[in-house]
Amino acid sequence: MLLGHDALRNLCRARDLLSEVRESRLSIEDVAREVAISPYHFIRQFEAVFGVTPHQYRIRWRLDLAKQLLAAGHHSVTDVCMEVGFSSLGSFSALFAQRIGVPPSAYRRRVRAMVQVPGRLPWELVPGCLTLMGQLPLGAFRSFREA
């Protein structure tokens, strides 16, 4: 399918509209109307250009955003669900588990375990002698004057 410059620009604009969480109430028909294409033609053209239907794109984009928010660790799963435009926690969790492979709470735990505080090493990388020294009482250390 060969598309003109204007048609491609309209499809890119539609993709941007689908990516906006605050516009989650926009139906596919509303987006098609916004870019001046009939809904059925819009779906076919969108899939031909981007490889997924507009609905699949919106779902994938929302789940990617949910993964970012869960990894940041500042929001609960419920907050993330609402933030990315889902209205049902059960539907969000089931879809997340189906597409990502683990429930959102398990994903959050797994990803947060991999995130490190800047400037700190994981305990596995700290030399054993230093961890032992950290457990000794202060009186066990000699001052430089004694040496």
pLDDT confidence tier of residue 5, bands split at 50, 70 and 90: confident
- Select the more confidently predicted residue: 111 or 135: 111
What is the average pLDDT across 70-96?
90
Rounded to a whole number of angstroms, the CA Rg of the chain reads 25
Residues with Cβ within 8 Å of residue 48, at least 6 apart in sequence: 1
Q: Are 89 and 66 in contact (CB under 8 A)?
A: no
Question: Residue 122 corresponds to which tokens in the numbers above?
Answer: 């994981």
pLDDT of residue 145: 58
* 73 DSSP 8-state letter: T
pLDDT at 56 > cutoff 60: yes
Which whole number is the average pLDDT over 88-104? 93
Give kind and range of the element (H or E) at residue 91: helix 89-100
Distance CA 93, CA 6 (A): 38
